[in-house]
Amino acid sequence: MTIDENGKKRPTHERLLKAERSLLKLIRENTIFTYLDDDLKRDFTPPSMNNRIEGGVNSRLREMLRNHRGLSIERRIKAVYWWCYMHSPEPLSLSEILNIMPTDRSIAAIYKKMSEKQKLEKNLSIWGDAIVWSDFHKVDRFYDQWD
């Protein structure tokens, strides 16, 4: 057990214990590693990957961006918009596209705003960013101030 900065006792490796408990619960409920179940394999072939977004849409978007890697950031964002439009089930009319699709200027403005926000957030110190003394020192009743 460890005593935190508020004087409360808690397990030394609390997050590790929580992860272990959740894994044990999933094993007991028989909801983890179901791909190893032979009875399940008889009924159907489970997919090799269970994340359809990463294996489906995102992989094709990444491939398109990889094939056009010389584009500026504005053009890359616009290319993603167009790719999504071209693969949409109900395409818009040309007049609607001109009203809805972002221009290079609007994309640059959004990108600049987000970039400034990120720089600001990086420079601001936020609670939880600093090292806590008790993270590196074990608190006990024989505590000395010399450390």
pLDDT 10s digits, 52-84:
666 677 888 889 999 988 888 888 888 888 888
Q: Pick out the chain residues at pLDDT < 70.
A: 34-37, 40-41, 44-55, 123-147
**Three-state secondary-structure class, residue 10:** strand
Between CA 130 and CA 18 the distance in angstroms is 24
For 116: left if phi > 0, alpha if psi spans -120 to 50, otherwise beta; the answer is alpha
Between CA 147 and CA 139 the distance in angstroms is 12
Between CA 80 and CA 61 the distance in angstroms is 7
Q: Where are the domains of the chain?
A: 10-46, 49-122
Between CA 138 and CA 3 the distance in angstroms is 8
Between CA 77 and CA 107 the distance in angstroms is 8
Whole-structure pTM value: 0.44
Residue 9 pLDDT: 83
- CA-nearest of 100, 111, 48 to 77 is 111
Residue 136 pLDDT: 66
Residue 22 pLDDT: 92
